[in-house]
Every structure is written in C-alpha cells, then in structure tokens.
Structure 1
Amino acid sequence: MAPHTSSLTKINIISRDQGSDKVPLLPAKNGHAGSAEVPDGYNGASFASAVFSLTTSVVGAGIMGLPAAVKTLGVIPGVLVIAIVGLLADAGVEIMLKFSNTGKIVSYGGLMADSFGRVGRIILQACVTVNNFGILVVYLIIIGDVMSGSTSGTVHHSGVLEEWAGGQTWWNSRLSVFVFTTLVILAPLASFKHVDALRLSSAISVALAVLFVVVMVMVTIAKLAIGNVAMPRLFPNIENGWSLLEVFEVIPIVVTAYICHQSVHPIINELTMPSQAFGVVRTSLAVCTAIYVAMSVFGFILFGDNTMTDVLSNFDTNLGVPYSTVLCDIVRVGYALHLVLVFPILHFTLRLNLDGLLFPASRPISMDNRRFTLITAGIMSLIFFGAYMIPSIDVAFQFTGATAGMCIGFIFPSIVCLRDIHEISTKREKVVSWIMVVLAIAVGIVAITSDILDIFVNKSSTTPSGHVDGFIH
C-alpha cells in the first residue's frame, strides 16, 4: 500500500473526513487552481494548533492602531465597529469555506479560479503577493525601530537595545539588527514546509498578544487606583468636516486588522479533521475580537487623548507607575517577538502564492526542495533589502493595505458568493456580501483620500518614523 499512497500524493489527491470516514476528493483543477497551490497530503494539525496559527495570522501590527481608532470613534461606537467587522470577517471566511467544500477546492486561488477562471486566480495571487510582501517589509522595519530606535523629524525614539547599551553601538545599529533578525531568526522560521510545524511559535505569539492586554489592564488599574486616569470619551467629537473625515478614516484600521483570508486554506488543509474548519475560524476570530476590544478600550482609557496612532509609541515614556521602565521594555520586546512569530505564517502564504504565479503547473512546492529553497531565499533577500532601503513607512504601504488587503478580505469572498456558480448562496449571504463590497469600496476611497490629503495638505501626524499606523494588518 505504501507505493500506492505515495502515488496518490504526487497526483495531488487529498482526503478529508466526513464523520468517521475518510473519502478521497477529486484532484484539484490544474487549469484553475494551479497545482503548485495544492497541498502535499500532510494532515496532522490539531484543532488547537490550527486556532493558534489562524489567530497568529490575524493579530499583526494592526493591533497597535486600535486604541487610536477607539479614541477617534469613542468607546461605544469603537467597540461596536470592532465587533461588527469581526462578524463580517467571519461571514467572509465561512463563505470561502462553503464554496471550497462544494467545489472540492483546496486553495484561495482555486476558489477564485472556480468562479472567474484563470484570470481570477492570477489576480488573487498577485494581490496576496503584493499585500503580504508589503506587510513583511513593514514588520522588519518595525522590529528594527523597536530594537535599534527611530527618528521622526527632530524627535528620536530610543530603541530597546540602544537604551540597554546606553547609546548607539555597532551591534545595536539598524543594519546589525536587520542582519541578525533575518539570518538567525526569521530565515529558519520561514524554512518550515508546513504551517503546523509552527504551532509552538504560533501559541507563543498569541500569548504575547494576550500579554499586551494584561500589561495594559494592570497599568490602567494601577492608575485608576491613584486617580490618574480621566473618564474616556464614549462618543466621537465631531466639530467640523475634518473631524468627520477622521471618524471614517479609522474604519480601514479596524477592517484590515481582521484580514487573514489568504492564510485560511493552508491552515485548514493541514487539519486532521477538516470538518472542524468552521469551528477553527469562529474560535480564532472570537479570540481576536476579545483581544482587540480589550487592547483598544484599555489603551484608550490609559492614555486618553494622548493615545498615539501607534500606541506602542506611548510606551517609550514614563507610565507613572512602579517599574514603568520594565513594563515598557516588556511591551516593546514582546511586540517585536510577536511580529517575529507572525512573520513565518504570512511568509508561508506569500511563498505559496508567488510559487503559484511563477510555476502554476508544477508539483507542490513543499515536494521540490530546490524550488522551495530558491523562492524562500529570494523572498527573504527582497524583504531584507526592502526594509533596509526604506527609512520609514509612507503612504504607499497604507495604500497597499487598503486596496489589495480589502480585495483579499472582503471583495473576493463577496463576489464569489454573488456569482454563485454552484447556486448555494442564501439570501442572507448575498446581503452580507453586498455589505462587504460596499464597505470595502468605501474604505478604499477613504484611505486613498486620506493619503492624498496627507501628501498635499501635509497634515501633521504623531506616527513615528517606521511605525505602522494601522492600515497595514
């Protein structure tokens, strides 16, 4: 039986459970999905490891922009927006899974190809490639800023290593941090061939996200006890047209914080029991929503109107509580480690989609060591040089996240549902899909308008050089 099983794997036939029985699915449509996207038959991931992996892919850099979003919206509208967007994200992913199960599809590219042919697959893969590459460059820049410091105008924000060393040295310089982080930490993590191999790092990443919330809650309670925290604003303060624009401008921050759709298929494909897919998605998004609500509300309560666009910037000053310096270092180092552990999940999806674009008719990349090594090394090299050459994050990254990101997260799942080639969409799903399309278009318009105003009106910003301001997930 061993040779026969191996041959089934090589022609890309996978199996999934239905109840207690395992039944083979049809081979993926090579003309549509691209066999490079098809999994290699590995299915050893547990429910918990899948939840950790998906949660890790959701909770990225965008979490640090949520307190500022709640500052602009007010606590009550802010919490409502976070919850509603979470529900819409869940609806979009469940639509993807529903159509994937019906069409016997194992990739996001295959899902788009099933409804829109080869062009649909190529557009999806291009969006994922651009979006994930931009995000990973941003992650490396942020890690460099946190550890080696950054300068915005005349204001210098000291890095953790710079503070520990008492000043700039060769070993805590930006270049040294980039080289060490890329070669010693990120490259080995990005070299795993299965998402499930990252289950431990994913669990640690989720734990670090929870640590942010715990530290925020502890500091907030301590300051409440001594009466140093003012009553937070419950509703937005709209005084003029500019204030109204700012209210709508924060919506993309919340929307892009939930984009994980490009990682769903690779994670679900590795489940030991694929019937648990919907449970994994709901559990993961519920955990993310709880983290987001706690982080945003307590962050706004703690810093009030001084909450910066990237709340991490509030942690390079005295918090006014005992052991303030230690707590600030825990948050900043923990945040950097969190991004390090999120990195390989997004890199995995980037590599898979880039390989699908370049080699659509080849066998799965995890079964071709030479192709796997070359593409992995190529991506890591480009990310390194991109992060090193770009001194700060500008509006181009905001634009990428609010366009390609919106397509991946909201528009593509919605148009698959609305096209409904299998005639399985319910009336409710179509209504939700129209809502997501309209929301995504509105978000894109607001983001582009904001970028134009930032460029030509030269609107002042508190975002430090190199820190993401929320439009990148």
Structure 2
Amino acid sequence: MAQELNNEEGATLIPPQKAPGEPRSSMISASFNFINSIIGSGIIGLPYALNQAGLPFGLLLLLVVGFITDYTIILLIKGGNLSGTNSYQTLVHSTFGFPGFLILSGLQFLYPFIAMISYNITTGDTLTKVFQRIPGVGPDHILAERHIVILLSTLAFTLPLSLYRNIEKLGKVSFLSMVLTFTILIIVIIRAATFGPQILPTENAWAFAKWNAIQAVGVMSFAFICHHNSFLIYGSLEQPTLANWSLVTHVSVGSALIISAAFAVAGYTTFTGYTQGDVFENYCRNDNLATFGRFCFGLSIMTTFPLECFVTREVLSKVFYSRDLSQLEHVAITFLIVAVCASISLAYDCLGVVLELNGVLSATPLIFIIPSACFLKLSPGRWFQGENLIPTVLILIGLFVMITGLTMTVLYPQDCSHGAEMFYCADANVSGTVPPA
C-alpha cells in the first residue's frame, strides 16, 4: 500500500467530510493558509535561536527542521490513506487506540492553545510601544496599558475572526498576514544594514556552533510546526490528491523556510549576543521604522490567531462531541477558548520558558515522533529498511531533542526583560534609516 502511494500520486485521498456544496480552497489559498499557520509569533524568536546555536550551525539546524516538517506533513496524509482516516486524531486512534488518541489530543490542544496565549502577549507588548509613539500617548495613557490592548484586540479582531466555521474563508486574511510578514522582513533587513554597524558584536558572535543548540531546536520546532492544521487545510482543497498536497506542502514549507532564515539572519547579525527571545525588544523605542514593524507584526499575529483557534476547537469537538458542532456549541466553545487565552495572557507577560517547553514537549513529538510512529505502525517491512528508515531515525532524534531540550531548558531558562530599554539605545540615532557618521 505504501508503494502504491509512491507510484500513484494522482490518486485522490480521503478528505475530511464536508457538507454538499460547501466551498473549498484553491491551491493558492490553501498555501497562504499553510504559510500563515507556520509563520506566527515563533518567527520572532528565530534570531534568538541562532544566538543559542551559533549562526552557521543554527542555519543548518533550521534547514533540517524545515526538511523534517515537509517530510512528516506528507507522511501524515500518507498515513491517513493507509488507515482510511481523515484527521490527525482518527489516524492516531486507528493505529494506537484510545490511549494514543488522548495523548495526541492533549498535545494537539496544548500547542496551539499556548501559541494563542503567546500571540496575545506579543500583541500587548508590541502594540503598546506602537501607541506610545502617537503624540499625546504617554506611559500612563490607556493605550499604553497592555491589558487594555489585549482586550481590545481580542474583542475587535481575534474573537470575530475565530467565529468563522470554514477555514477557507480566512484565505484573504492569510494573504494579508503574508504581506505584513514580508514588510516586517524588509524592515529587519534594513535595520541590519543601518543599525547593526552601531552595535559592536559580542564575543564569539560568529562561532560555528554553541553548546545549547538543542534549545534552539525547540524554538525552531515551535516556529515551524503546522501539523495540527494539515488535515484541515488538506480537506479544504478543491482536488485533494497526494500530488496537489505535496506541491502545497513543498511551496508552503519552502517559502516559510526562506522567510524564516532571512529574518533569523538579519535579526541576529544586528544584535548578535544581545538578541532576545522577542527580537523587537532589542529595537529602541524612538526607532520609527521598528515601530512600524511592531505594528505590522502585531496585526499579523492577530490574523494568525484564528487558525490556531480552529485547531483547538476541532480537538475539543472530536474528544467531547464526536460530531459536528451546532451553531450554539460552536459559538460557546470559541468564546470559551478565546476568553481563557485572553485571561492567561492578561495574568502573565513573560512566556519565554513556556514557549521553549512548548517547543520541546509539544512541537517535537507532533513533528518528529507521532507522524513517523503512525506510518511505521501501518507500513509493512522492517523499521530500518526501505522507506521506513527515515521515520525510524526521526523517532530517535525526536526523543533525544525532547529529553535533552527539557533538561537544558530547566537548567538554563531564557531571560525575560519586557519593556527594558537596551543600553545601546542611549546614544543611538535610529529614528531614520541612515546611521550617524
């Protein structure tokens, strides 16, 4: 059966059930949704990942994580075809029974749920700095209060967008998010050229590799994971074939990898060893270009939030309802998810350690281990032979990253300095785009 998948890539796979006449996405729209689901708040931590791993070795790790992401996304759909299932949860349930289903559901809920919390926190931290650049808005103004900003963004943007029932309706929103992401990338590159020369590189800034590279893998896994959206986006395709899905996956992951690598390099080369988990915390408050970048990033992640809400709602409906939600249930569960995320993000303003742990404990098994384990369970042949070799190796790598990454994250937690002005901003002239002579 696995061999048939390789030879008959045009064969239609089993898509998630949709009502007759329900609209589907084009491959372009699906790709925008997929890229948008990858490039969320995690991209802002990629310069910090290079700070952890070293620039050359960090880029190599980023490439490897991108390849593994691409490979295991396609592996998931192959597993769905082998088992006759049409969702991540039913695939794991058919291969590992109810215990496996519960483990996956917990991981699949936890990752996007914490991601949504991070989106809210980043929105609060980012937009408050944007609003303070408006004349008359000082540190004591209501728009400079992160709690108010989080509540306003939730009520005005994330909650209404999350109430959509069909993921394909977010295609235009995802396109907007992509435009904003490219704008942010250009700003970071400009600042690397104009502001970077004003900051002396730290010691060992250009070292090939650094000892805490495993933590960087956790951050990269957090930035790249999109497996929890795979069946949803695949099921929205007008023609859900393995060939079409492979093309969407290659284009989406490849585009996200290029954008992520460019962003990571530009951010890290600007600040080297001073690079923080949120690279926008490194820019000075009087930097107008960076302020515009903060605005674009805040708006971008508010448009990414609904994609993650789709997944958490889907997991809850599968676990507790095992059927399509009624309109009332849909609204109630969506409101509950968004409200809980907003409440937690109002209470906590620093999730650096939590995000690392989320990458190691949630993203790593969802990317490396579970898709590979399902395929091995369904595929004939020995584990270390033929097409089963790569999934077997990925399971071993995933276990190593989880154990080592968890240990290092606990022993060497990420620093958090929200709102603190960096020392080099005192004399820096960064309001324009040209550094002083």
Shorter-chain TM-score bucket reads: 0.7 to 0.9
| Match of residue 70 from structure 1 | 50
Match of 1:46 among 12, 26, 50: 26
The answer to whether the Cα contact below 8 Å between 1:136 and 1:346 also exists between their aligned partners in 2 is yes
How far apart, in 1, do the equivalents of 2:278 and 2:127 lie? 16
CA change 1:463–1:250 in 2 (3 A) is farther
Number of paired residues? Answer: 407
| Match of residue 417 from structure 1 | 375
Residue 19 (structure 1) shift? 9.9
CA change 1:465–1:102 in 2 (3 A) is farther
How far apart, in 2, do the equivalents of 1:460 and 1:122 lie? 30
| Match of residue 404 from structure 1 | 362
Runs of 5+ unmatched residues, structure 1: 1-17, 29-36, 149-158, 239-243, 319-324, 467-473
CA change 1:305–1:372 in 2 (3 A) is same
Match of 1:185 among 147, 157, 161: 157
Runs of 5+ unmatched residues, structure 2: 1-7, 421-437
Residue 130 (structure 1) shift? 1.7
**3-state SS of 1:257 partner:** helix
Match of 2:272 among 295, 301, 304: 304
- Encode CA deviations 1:312-331: one digit per residue, 9 max, x unaligned: 1112356xxxxxx2211111
Query: Are 1:105 and 2:93 matched, yes or no?
Result: no
CA change 1:19–1:69 in 2 (3 A) is closer
How far apart, in 1, do the equivalents of 2:184 and 2:356 lie? 24
TM-score w.r.t. the length of structure 1 is 0.79
The answer to whether the Cα contact below 8 Å between 2:54 and 2:213 also exists between their aligned partners in 1 is no
Query: Are 1:447 and 2:405 matched, yes or no?
Result: yes
Residue 60 (structure 1) shift? 1.5
| Match of residue 357 from structure 1 | 319
Query: Are 1:434 and 2:398 matched, yes or no?
Result: no
CA change 1:460–1:343 in 2 (3 A) is closer
Alignment of 1:212-227 (within 5 A): 212-222=184-194
How far apart, in 1, do the equivalents of 2:369 and 2:409 lie? 21
Q: Which amino acid aligns with 2:207?
A: F
Residue 83 (structure 1) shift? 0.9
- Encode CA deviations 1:399-420: one digit per residue, 9 max, x unaligned: 2332122222221101112212
The answer to whether the Cα contact below 8 Å between 1:417 and 1:425 also exists between their aligned partners in 2 is no
Alignment of 1:225-244 (within 5 A): 233-236=205-208, 244=211
Q: Which amino acid aligns with 2:319?
A: L
Q: Which amino acid aligns with 2:308?
A: L
- Encode CA deviations 1:97-129: one digit per residue, 9 max, x unaligned: 112123332111111122112332222122111
Residue 139 (structure 1) shift? 1.1
Query: Are 1:314 and 2:282 matched, yes or no?
Result: yes
**3-state SS of 2:374 partner:** helix
Query: Are 1:333 and 2:295 matched, yes or no?
Result: yes
| Match of residue 248 from structure 1 | 214
Residue 178 (structure 1) shift? 2.1
| Match of residue 395 from structure 1 | 353
How far apart, in 2, do the equivalents of 1:19 and 1:72 lie? 40
How far apart, in 1, do the equivalents of 2:52 and 2:85 lie? 41
CA change 1:249–1:228 in 2 (3 A) is closer
How far apart, in 1, do the equivalents of 2:289 and 2:217 lie? 30
Query: Are 1:376 and 2:334 matched, yes or no?
Result: yes
**3-state SS of 2:351 partner:** coil
Residue 234 (structure 1) shift? 4.2
TM-score w.r.t. the length of structure 2 is 0.85
Query: Are 1:277 and 2:257 matched, yes or no?
Result: no
Match of 2:228 among 259, 262, 274: 262
RMSD over aligned CA atoms reads 2.9
How far apart, in 2, do the equivalents of 1:465 and 1:419 lie? 49
Residue 382 (structure 1) shift? 1.2
Match of 1:162 among 125, 132, 145: 132
How far apart, in 2, do the equivalents of 1:462 and 1:19 lie? 48
